Structure formats: structure tokens, C-alpha cells
Amino acid sequence: MENKEPLIITNKDDMRRWSRTAKAQGKIVGFVPTMGYLHEGHLSLVQECKQHSHLTVVSIYVNPGQFSPNEDLSTYPSDFIGDIDKLKNKAGGVDVVFHPKNLYDYGKHDGVVNARSSDLAEGKVVSCVENSGMGHETWVRVERLEKGLCGSSRPVFFKGVATIVTKLFNIVEPDVAVFGKKDYQQWRIIERMVRDLDFGIKIIGAELLRDPDGLAKSSRNVHLSPEQRKKATSISESLFNAKTAAQKGQVVCRELKDLVIKTIHEAGGKVDYAEIVDQESLEALEEIKSPAVFCIAAWFGNVRLLDNVEIIV
Amino acid sequence: MENKEPLIITNKDDMRRWSRTAKAQGKIVGFVPTMGYLHEGHLSLVQECKQHSHLTVVSIYVNPGQFSPNEDLSTYPSDFIGDIDKLKNKAGGVDVVFHPKNLYDYGKHDGVVNARSSDLAEGKVVSCVENSGMGHETWVRVERLEKGLCGSSRPVFFKGVATIVTKLFNIVEPDVAVFGKKDYQQWRIIERMVRDLDFGIKIIGAELLRDPDGLAKSSRNVHLSPEQRKKATSISESLFNAKTAAQKGQVVCRELKDLVIKTIHEAGGKVDYAEIVDQESLEALEEIKSPAVFCIAAWFGNVRLLDNVEIIV
């Protein structure tokens, strides 16, 4: 059976108008923001979204605001035609693909100030948006949750994420939005932001998807050699072992973390961080007493992989 | 003729529901955020709002997020019954008064972290919200425009304003919102925030209102003694003189500012700042070539007064 072609919208005003029209007709609008190059993990978010809405919007937009100038914005992979095909044939079709060109281009304005060279010279940490001097200067920060875990090694990342999600929420005006628990910190940041800023939007956290060998699905997995891939399964294996150990009463985090770090290290991986944190506050725990999540970022070769397991004892 | 009683809404969800119902019926919803203790300046914002909307919502909420712990949150004046009466009898009535108790109370949550005592001990600049440890941690910052002018002496003020306006926009979901040009920097910050974060809301800047003696209308004017009040008119008089001089060709800002500072000083006032800035970027100007605004904050006794004039040469 042929699934429907999505309507492709590139303009902010057209997007908002479509959404308002749909909502005026009583439709629940669901939204899945992505940076494209879709894999089965994304498609599972779309499936989840459909459980909660009448109409589904997927955005495909690589957000320069979450990359710092020394990160890989220019080489970020894209495959728009392939993405549309997957949405149509593997996710059962969606209603709209929102695919804007540049969400920071506000047109020419007298008096709009671009990034000051002094900011850059002083070594202030900036995103690609600030670096290129587009005049955008409003940032949303979730000040505690953005620290730690991925925030430590990527200082502009979460302010870029919170800001682009705010922009997309204000353009798409959805009733429901779905975020993957694969990016656990990101999901919690968006949840907190929606609470703190009173967005009238329900946030759904969708479960992490794994390949049969246990590796968490990610666009980056294709960059692993077959050998690296085999070794990278040490991440999920050691996380599952830690979860089992915790549930058997081994709740001292230092010991659980040491075991995981050792396992990944022996498999040839380099651990960026391995932290057991509270599921909501993301504060590091010494012992697992409350609902926790074990979050890991580790390098295999040039590929940085994220994974996590929730642990409730 | 008796004007209608406003519907008084105190709950966020009720407010959003009212607005969505109104909009579903094709009504344009206008919004005027205030901190209450209304005077004719506020009422003129309401009148302006009615020019652009079918239905008008006025919020009355003293926002702790824009006060630092050493500022006067606890003594901020209020007169809710008087405010309702003024809206009804002097502004021709409004449809809704949104009067929430505490917009930072999100109920009990496991894992919600309150302000860390370490933050406070380190002397980090915090608002009353952070100081009281309510767990709110998401802040909207308009990073360039929030510096300078009032931002210099009130470091948490504009992040508090941008954040509460975001919250109110997300709760009231208006089509149009009105801000007074009396608070020129605030108006420009909100305009820029709406642009940068893609809010689907039209922002109207309403003209500053003056008493017959020239003094800009403000809740704080009642605190002036008759003698102070007379002297305080030196602010508007010197601003008008500067404008006239500029339009006659005297465009060197240093000289215009010196004249204004001298006049206010001689009248017994203490100038907090006197700056001639670009109307959009709020960057200080050396010469008036582009549309400018002369912004002043000055103390007479214990009363800090704001005023400004736009100057186009």
C-alpha cells in the first residue's frame, strides 16, 4: 500500500498557518523535531507521535545554534530525498515535513547588531550562529540541567537545543512533541523548559531503540568499522550488567561506574563520561536510592556514541 | 454607562482554555501585561490594545523573577480592587484580568533541585525566584540589548522580564501584545525576543504618556513631594531641549548629554544614566545620524524616574 506524500513546507508563516488551520478544525497536531538523516530511531519517534495526535509534523533542520565553530556543522550528513522516502515508506507517512532553509535569517534590519569581534577575541564560547554574525541574540537556557554530562564537553550545545526547540514550538505550535530518551539529558531539558516557560505542549519521551546486538541506534553507527561495532557493544552490555547488579543490591555508584569504564576501556573504547544520575535533576548520585539513569558517552575510533539505561531499585 | 465586569482568571490552564476558545471563534486576542497598581499610562496601553483586537486580556502579576533579593519586591505597591475599578470605569472595560498567585510554583516534583546554597555563597547574581529556591531554572536572555541602560544597575531585571513575558505569552497565547515605550529598553528587548524566538505575536509599542507639566506618567510619581515633583520636570524639559537642539543641527551626543545632566543636577536630581542610543540596537551613539532615542534614569529623593525621547534628525 502506497503511503501519502507529505506536504513539504519551508516557510515559517506557511507552517504556522497550516498548524492553526488544522487546530481550528479540532485536530491534535503532533511534532517530531529532527536534524534529518533519519534512521529507525527517528521513525520510532514518528510512530510514537502518531499514537498521540491526529496529524504529524516532522521538522528536518540542522541547527547551527547547537554547534560551536570547532564542531562538525559543515560535514553533518544529510539525505533529504532519502528522509522523505523513509517517512513515506517506513513510518507510514506523515502530514508535513517542515524543512526551513535558515531559521536565524530575519531579513535586513537597520540597527541589528552582529556578533562583536570583541566577543570572539575574548574567547567567549559562541555557537555557529553567533560566530557568523547573524544578529540573533536571544537564548533560552535551562541553567542547571544543561551543565554536566554532554554539557561539559559541548558548552553551547544545550542552549542551542533549547533555543531552536523554542523557535520550532513557536512556529509549528504543536499540541504534542516527541523526544527520544536516547538523548536523555536533552529530553529532560526540554521537559523542564516546557514546565518553566509554561508551553501548552505535552512532551513525550520515547524509548531508546537498539539493534539486535544491543547497540543503541544512531546516525553515527554507520561510521563504525565492523570490528569497532563489535567492540562498541561493550557499552550496552556493561550498562545492562550494571543494571542487573544494582537490582541485586549493588547500589554504590562508584563501583558500578568503575566496572563499566573498565569494560569499555578493555574493549578499546575511550569513555567521555560515565555517570549515574537522578532521573529528573540529573544530579550525580553516590548510591542508587531514587530512580536513576546510567548515562554514557564513549568514543570508538572517531565516533562518539551515547547510551543510557534507567535503573529503578 | 456601566462598563462590563472583567472575568478574573487565576489559573494558567483556565487562562489558556479561555484564549483558545476565543481564538477558535475567530477572535483576535490582545494582551497587556502589567504588575498592577495601574495608572493612566497603563490604561492608555489598554486603549491601544483595543485598537488591534476583539478581546483584551490584562495580566496583573508582580513578577519576583525581575527583582533581585536586595530590591523592593516585598514593598511593591498593589491595589487589586482599585485596578479592577480603573479598568472598568476608566479604560472602558476589558474581557479578562489574569491574576495568578505564583507563576513559578510548579507543585511538588521528585528530583526538582532548588537554588544551591553554593550559588548564593559565590555571589552569583540571582533573582528573588532563584533566591527563594523555587526550582525554576529556565531563563530567556536577550544578550546584547539587556546590557547597558537599566541593565547596568539592575543585572537580573531583563532576564526576569524576558522570561515572565515568555511564560505569559505561552499561557495567554495572544495575537497582539502592547508594551509602553516609557520602558523603551524593555519594549525593544521584547520585540527582539519575539523576532528571535519566532513567537506568532504582534508587538505594539505604545507612546509614552505625560502629565500636563511634562513628567512621564509612572506609579512612582506619587512618592514625589510637591517640591521634588516640580524639580523632576527638569528631566522632560531638558530632554525636549536636547531634541530641539539636535534637530537644529547640534548632533554631538557628548554635548547634548552634558547639557541634560547639568540641568537635572542643578535641579537637585541625581542622574543614574543619560544615554543617546540607536533606536533598535540601543548602542551608544557619538553623533545622531540614525534614528536615536535619548534615555534617562534619574533619582529625585528616593524615587528613580525613567524618561526618554525619540530623536530623528
Cβ contact, residue pair A137, B192, below 8 Å: yes
Say yes or no to pLDDT of A129 above 90: yes
Residue B252 buriedness (CB in 10 A; 0-12 / 13-18 / 19+): middle
| pLDDT given at position A117 | 52
Pick the residue with more confidence: B73 or B162?
B162
SS3 assignment, position B155? coil
- Whole-angstrom CA distances from A209 to A35, A176, A185, A296 are 18, 21, 16, 16
Cβ contact, residue pair B138, A140, below 8 Å: yes
Q: How far apart are CA B99 and CA B101, in angstroms?
A: 7
The CATH number of the domain covering residues in B7-206: 3.40.50.620
The predicted complex's ipTM stands at 0.94
Please tell me if residue B173 touches chain A, with a CB cutoff of 8 Å. Answer: yes
Q: How far apart are CA B266 and CA B278, in angstroms?
A: 27
- Whole-angstrom CA distances from A89 to A6, A86, A93, A218 are 11, 5, 7, 20
- Give the model confidence (pLDDT) of A41-60 as tens digits: 999 999 999 999 999 999 99
| pLDDT given at position B1 | 47
Which of A209, A181, A155 has its CA nearest to residue A279?
A: A181
Say yes or no to pLDDT of B187 above 90: yes
Cβ contact, residue pair A198, B139, below 8 Å: no
Beta-carbon count within 10 A of B261 CB: 17
A42 is catalytic: yes
| pLDDT given at position B75 | 82
| Annotated active-site residue in A42, A52, A54, A265 | A42
Find the mean pLDDT for residues A17-26: 96
Say yes or no to pLDDT of A298 above 80: yes
Query: Nearest chain A Cα to B167, which residue?
Result: A197
Contact B162/B168 with Cβ under 8 angstroms?
no
Q: How far apart are CA B113 and CA A285, in angstroms?
A: 13
Find the mean pLDDT for residues A32-40: 95
CATH superfamily of B219-307: Pantoate-beta-alanine ligase, C-terminal domain (3.30.1300.10)
Q: Which parts of chain A fold into alpha helices (H)?
A: 12-24, 40-50, 80-89, 117-121, 128-131, 150-153, 157-172, 184-196, 226-247, 253-266
Which of B200, B269, B206, B258 has its CA nearest to residue B233?
A: B269
| pLDDT given at position B219 | 81
Beta-carbon count within 10 A of B89 CB: 11
Strands B7-9, A303-311: pairing is: unpaired
Chosen for mutation from A18, A118, A137, A289 (greatest number of chain B CBs closer than 10 Å) is A137
**C-alpha cell at position A16:** 504556522
Banded model confidence at residue A1, pLDDT cuts 50, 70, 90: very low
Q: What is the dihedral of CA A81, A86, A88, A93, to 10 degrees?
A: -130
Cβ contact, residue pair B290, A16, below 8 Å: no
Q: How far apart are CA B164 and CA A197, in angstroms?
A: 8
- Could you give the percent of chain B with pLDDT greater than 70? 94
Parse chain B into domains and list their residue ranges.
Answer: 7-206, 219-307
Chain B: closest CA distance from residue A90 (Å) = 32
- Give the model confidence (pLDDT) of B73-113 as tens digits: 888 889 999 999 999 998 899 999 999 999 999 986 544 55
Q: How far apart are CA A150 and CA A153, in angstroms?
A: 6
CATH superfamily of A219-311: Pantoate-beta-alanine ligase, C-terminal domain (3.30.1300.10)
In eight-state DSSP terms, residue B254 is H
Find the mean pLDDT for residues A185-211: 97
At residue B41, φ and ψ (nearest 5 deg) are: -60, -50
**What residues contact residue A181 under an 8 Å CB cut-off, 6+ apart?**
A187, A205, A206, A207, A208, A308, A310
